[in-house]
């Protein structure tokens, strides 16, 4: 059975708003030749500079994964990369006319839908794999974060999160095959705690955020007046406050959606390894900084 590299058959584009910049943007996926990998192209800048989507080009991870090369950057790449990698696409040109990818609904679902609509096709060149021969570990004892790749004949992901939250509790998500990615992982939205959200809003850091593109976790009891004030920050209608829980629960797809979204992010960040992996990847309390530092360790092994 052949295992060939893949790209898409046709161009496909989406429009949306950047989560942090609030800027409208058009992102266009185009087929790419064998061994191209993943390349972002800033078509709004002189010379249309290109940015290779590899871990060495990561320059920021505080709220999202940001890449920089050739005097150009592109932010919040994780949901795009997750969709591409999760669908088994190896080579792609990603044109974008702004500094940040569109957040859409806060998941990878619409990216997946568009790429499937474009069609995925096999190419002539064999796919390259990096097979983990010995365990690779990134650990941050201060945060309790541990990410490791262990030898495995295939690819699996396992993620555990625990924010000591009375709402979320300890959650686990597992992906045993990319065949399940589009249905089980791609629709899972990003999430934020309400206490963080208010700070972000006041600091003008999530200009493109609203209640439809992130699950909002309410950890403490509020008065109705306080709750209305937060709605005003979003320019949203006042609604009845129902206590702790997920503020916009109507947008949830899975009970353990936060853990699944962290798995989605981890897939997007491990795509920056630049290769298909044969490994079981296990993560406790992952985040973009830890994910990309872990992938940098993989890249050192790959490029030896």
CB 285, CB 161: distance < 8 Å: yes
Q: Are residues 92 and 197 in the same domain?
A: no
pLDDT at 192: 76
Is the domain of 17 the same as that of 123? Answer: yes
56 within domain boundaries: yes
pLDDT digits (tens, 9 = 90+) for 10-28: 999 999 988 777 789 999 9
What is the Cα–Cα distance from 273 to 54, expressed in whole angstroms?
Answer: 6
Q: Are residues 15 and 111 in the same domain?
A: yes
Q: What is the CATH number of the domain that holds 57?
A: 3.30.230.20
* 267 found inside a domain: no
Chosen domain end from 81, 103, 127:
127
Domain that holds residue 62: 4-127
> Active-site residue among 20, 79, 261, 288?
288
Let me know if residue 139 belongs to a domain.
no
Over the chain (304 residues), the average pLDDT of each successive run of 10 is 88 90 92 98 98 97 94 97 98 97 94 98 96 96 95 97 83 97 96 70 57 72 73 68 65 89 98 97 96 96 86
Say which residues have a Cβ less than 8 Å from residue 123's Cβ, sequence separation at least 6: 4, 5, 6, 7, 33, 34, 90, 91
Return the HEC string of the chain. CCCEEEEECCCEEEEEEECCCCCEEEEEEEECCCCCCEEEEECCCCCCCEEECCHHHEEECCCCCEEEECCEEEECCHHHHHHHHHCCCCCEEEEECCCECECCCCCCHHHHHHHHHHCEEEEEEECCEEECCCCEEEEECCCCEEEEEECCCCEEEEEEEECCCCCCCEEEEEECCHHHHHHHCCCCCCEEEHHHHHHHHHCCCCCCCCCCCCEEEECCCCCHHHHHHHHHHCCCCCCCCCCCEECCHHHCCCCCHHHHHHHHHHHHHHHHHCCEEEEEEEEECCCHHHHHHHHHHHHHHHCC
Domain-embedded: residue 269: no
Last residue of a domain, one of 251, 272, 299: 251
- Is 227 inside a domain boundary? yes
Assign 3-class secondary structure to 125-148.
EECCEEECCCCEEEEECCCCEEEE
19 shares a domain with 120:
yes
238 is catalytic: no
Within a domain: 209: yes
pTM attached to this predicted model: 0.89
How many structural domains compose the chain?
A: 2
Task: Tell me whether residue 279 is in a domain.
Answer: no
Q: Do 8 and 123 belong to one domain?
A: yes
Domain final residue, candidates 127, 152, 169: 127
Asked if residue 172 is part of any domain, the answer here is no
């Amino acid at each position: 059975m052949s295992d060939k590299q893949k790209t898409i058959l046709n161009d496909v584009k989406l429009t949306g708003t950047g989560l942090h910049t609030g800027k409208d943007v058009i992102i266009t996926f185009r087929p790419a030749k064998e061994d191209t990998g993943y390349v972002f192209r800033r078509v709004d800048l002189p010379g249309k500079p290109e940015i290779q989507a590899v871990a060495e080009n990561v320059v920021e991870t505080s709220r999202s994964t940001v890449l920089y090369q050739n005097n150009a950057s592109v932010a919040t790449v994780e949901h795009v990369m997750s969709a591409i990698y999760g669908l088994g696409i190896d080579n792609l040109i990603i044109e974008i006319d702004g500094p940040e990818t569109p957040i859409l609904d806060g998941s990878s679902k619409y990216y997946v839908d568009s790429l499937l609509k474009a069609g995925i096709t096999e190419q002539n060149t064999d796919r390259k794999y990096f097979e983990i021969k010995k365990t690779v570990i990134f650990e941050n004892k201060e945060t309790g974060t541990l990410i490791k790749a262990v030898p495995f004949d295939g690819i699996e992901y396992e993620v555990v999160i625990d924010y000591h939250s009375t709402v979320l509790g300890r959650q686990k998500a597992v992906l045993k095959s990319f065949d399940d990615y589009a249905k089980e992982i791609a629709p899972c939205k990003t999430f934020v705690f309400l206490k963080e959200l208010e700070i972000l809003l006041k600091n003008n850091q999530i200009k493109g955020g609203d209640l439809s593109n992130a699950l909002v976790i309410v950890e403490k009891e509020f008065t109705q007046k306080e709750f209305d004030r937060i709605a005003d920050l979003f320019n949203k209608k006042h609604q009845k406050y129902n206590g702790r829980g997920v503020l916009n629960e109507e947008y949830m797809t899975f009970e353990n959606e936060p853990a699944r979204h962290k798995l989605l992010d981890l897939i997007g960040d491990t795509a920056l390894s630049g290769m298909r992996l044969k490994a079981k990847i296990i993560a406790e309390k992952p985040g973009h900084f830890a994910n990309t530092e872990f992938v940098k360790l993989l890249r050192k092994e790959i490029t030896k």
